Structure 1
Amino acid sequence: MKKLLSLLLVSIMALAVLAGCSTSSKLETKEPAQPAASGGGKVTIGLSVSTLNNPFFVTLKEGAEKAAKEAGVDLIVVDAKDNTAKQVSDIEDLIQKKVSVILINPTDSAAVVTAVEAANKANIPVITVDRAANGGKVVSHIASDNVKGGKMAGEQILKLIGGKGNIVELQGIAGTSAARDRGKGFHDAVDGKDGVKVAASQPADFDRAKGLKVMENILQGNKDIQAVFAHNDEMALGALQAIEASGKKIAVVGFDATDDAVKAVNEGKMAATVAQKPALIGETAVKIAVKVQKGEKVESSIPVDLELVTKK
């Protein structure tokens, strides 16, 4: 009887040990796992472009895609189509996707502020590209020195017209830093010069069709024009169409050095264009975004070189 009780006691103790091990195992499986990084551990960068209906920004996007591929990161590109409301909505979508960094090429420097602030609240770093934002916290701004570029264009025009004549300025989208800065540089170069007058200064929104229409209207009201400075090549090419249709000889200087503009310069149709190197801007933006994602310090403003393109 005592032997039977001893065996029974040993069996009960063994069962208790097994139960304890089982409970311990279950508790271990319930411990929370570490959260995985978005995209399966891969860095994801968002790029909001003002419009892909402009060759300059297409080239910028391609530069960004090249750099992203080389760095082994994902790049999500969204096209605002020059619509400020759509750009804000696009950026909100990128925030919802929890991208690592957001690159923004603003359609409007003022209107984009709310989107920048939304990214700030979500603790997603923001980098502006080509055009600046008027507010919100931006880690770095990557662009050409647009003031310097505008001045280069103005000085070239003064040479072309021999320091005397009437000039037309075709402005970009009002509210963008690019339009503001290029205009400032241009006026720094030409204002106050004896014999030189800016006969007309009107917006054509960085658009070729609008550049054509605005230039047509200006030529109807003012026959005595010696040169045109357009804040980008699309407007310059539109202005060139209007000038060719009028049969006049007017020097046209653009900005961006798009393929169509460089071709027009080499053919002697356009006088010059300021090369802004959009592919390099896009590449630089992604490289800086990768550094930011890694927690590395970056410069608050990173300039990309400019050069004046004239006929070879």
Structure 2
Amino acid sequence: MKSLFKGLFLALIASVFMAGCSLDQTSKGSDESSKNSGSTDEKVKIGLSISTLNNPFFVTLKEGAEKKAKEEGIDITTVDAQNDPAKQVSDVEDLIQKGIDVLLINPTDSAAITAAIESANNAGIPVITVDRSAEGGEVVAHIASDNTAGGKMAGEYLAEALGESGKVIELEGIPGSSAARERGKGFNEAIATASGIEVVAKQPANFDRSQGLSVMENLLQSNKDIQAVFAHNDEMALGAVEALKAAGLENVIVVGFDATDDAVKAVEEGTMAATVAQKPDLIGQQAVDTAIQVKKGTKVEKFIPVELELIKK
């Protein structure tokens, strides 16, 4: 009888031990499965606020960012501010409510965007500025070409093309935007070294082709003896080309900035003399790559430059 009880007791102990092992293995497997599931399902959510998609440059930048996001298997939501600073602030608030992890901003206005950046800061969302910088708020990185250097490149080219002498009109971008401020600064610094060159008129045309056309038409009323035009972007330069053609001034040298497809074609055809080439697709890709690094906790550079190149015939 004792032998029987002893056998039953040992069998019971073995059964409990085996069940415990099984539960432990099941628990470990469940934990491991949960961990794997979490790492697979967790995606970086990026919000991209673009100043305007009515400009081919920013369309290309957007496409570069979205292509990179797709390659990396991450979510990206793009919103178009339509060159309206108030709408851009509202767009960013909406992105924050959607639970984005990183915010990419291409500011319409470098000062007005501060409120939106501060909202993201308060929500604990890292902010990266793209192409145009911001004047306020905490930004972990800025990705852009060196606009001042690009403006200087355009100025030096014009000075050489004019033989250090001539009258120039400058079409400026959106007042308050870093791109307009920096491109104008670089251009005027370069022109200042050529004492025979005079900027006889400058006026904003807000990076827009139709405004470039109308502003140029108005400026030509009292400045028909000009030899060159520098526009802060290609859209305004192409508008200026139309105005010059209509006025019978097709020999005026026109230099733009961005190297959009239309501008490069105009350079090849000889209707534009040159354009400073940025690489918007690369800027977009680099922005997404930087956002991924920031989400991982990797330290990134405060300024990440993208190279420039002068395109001329």
- TM-score, structure 1 length as denominator? 0.87
> Would the aligned equivalents of 2:47 and 2:104 in 1 still touch at CA under 8 Å?
yes
User: Cα distance, 1:124 vs. partner?
Assistant: 0.2
> Would the aligned equivalents of 2:201 and 2:219 in 1 still touch at CA under 8 Å?
yes
Distance 1:159 1:95 in 2: 49
Name the residue aligned to 1:286.
Answer: 288
Any stretches of 5+ residues in structure 2 without a counterpart? 1-33
Secondary structure, counterpart of 1:270 in structure 2 = coil
User: Cα distance, 1:193 vs. partner?
Assistant: 2.3
What's the C-alpha RMSD, in Å, of the aligned pairs? 1.5
Distance 2:263 2:307 in 1: 18
- TM-score, structure 2 length as denominator? 0.87
Name the residue aligned to 1:10.
Answer: none
Distance 1:217 1:40 in 2: 57
User: Cα distance, 1:192 vs. partner?
Assistant: 4.8
Name the residue aligned to 2:69.
Answer: 68
User: Cα distance, 1:43 vs. partner?
Assistant: 1.2
Name the residue aligned to 2:298.
Answer: 296
Distance 1:201 1:214 in 2: 10
Is 1:94 aligned to 2:87, yes or no? no
Secondary structure, counterpart of 1:221 in structure 2 = coil
Distance 1:87 1:174 in 2: 16
Amino acid at match of 1:51: T
Structural mapping, 1:155-174, within 5 Å: 155-174=156-175
- Go from structure 1 to structure 2 and tell me whether the alpha carbon gap of 1:91 and 1:238 turns closer, same or farther (over 3 Å shift): same
Name the residue aligned to 2:212.
Answer: 211
Name the residue aligned to 1:220.
Answer: 221
Structural mapping, 1:233-312, within 5 Å: 233-248=234-249, 249-311=251-313
Name the residue aligned to 1:53.
Answer: 54
User: Cα distance, 1:40 vs. partner?
Assistant: 5.0
Distance 1:58 1:189 in 2: 30
Q: Aligned residues: percent identity?
A: 66
User: Cα distance, 1:98 vs. partner?
Assistant: 1.1
Deviations 1:165-187 (A, max 9, x none): 00000000000000000000001
User: Cα distance, 1:232 vs. partner?
Assistant: 0.2
Pick which of 104-113 and 187-196 moved more. 187-196
Distance 1:210 1:50 in 2: 17
Secondary structure, counterpart of 1:253 in structure 2 = strand
Deviations 1:136-159 (A, max 9, x none): 000000000000000000011111
Amino acid at match of 2:303: S
Runs (4 or more) in structure 1 with deviation over 4 Å come to none
Name the residue aligned to 1:144.
Answer: 145
Deviations 1:115-140 (A, max 9, x none): 00000000000000000010000000
Distance 1:276 1:81 in 2: 21
Name the residue aligned to 2:16.
Answer: none
Distance 2:159 2:124 in 1: 48
Deviations 1:44-103 (A, max 9, x none): 100000000000000000000111011111110000000111100000001101101000
Distance 2:252 2:178 in 1: 27
Name the residue aligned to 1:191.
Answer: 192
Amino acid at match of 1:266: E
What number of residue pairs does the alignment pair up? 277
Distance 1:115 1:222 in 2: 41
Structural mapping, 1:105-124, within 5 Å: 105-124=106-125
Distance 1:254 1:66 in 2: 27
Any stretches of 5+ residues in structure 1 without a counterpart? 1-32
Distance 1:225 1:255 in 2: 20
Distance 1:188 1:71 in 2: 42
Distance 1:158 1:195 in 2: 9
Secondary structure, counterpart of 1:138 in structure 2 = coil
Deviations 1:162-214 (A, max 9, x none): 11000000000000000000000001100252211000011000000000001
Secondary structure, counterpart of 1:308 in structure 2 = strand
Distance 1:274 1:79 in 2: 25
Name the residue aligned to 1:153.
Answer: 154
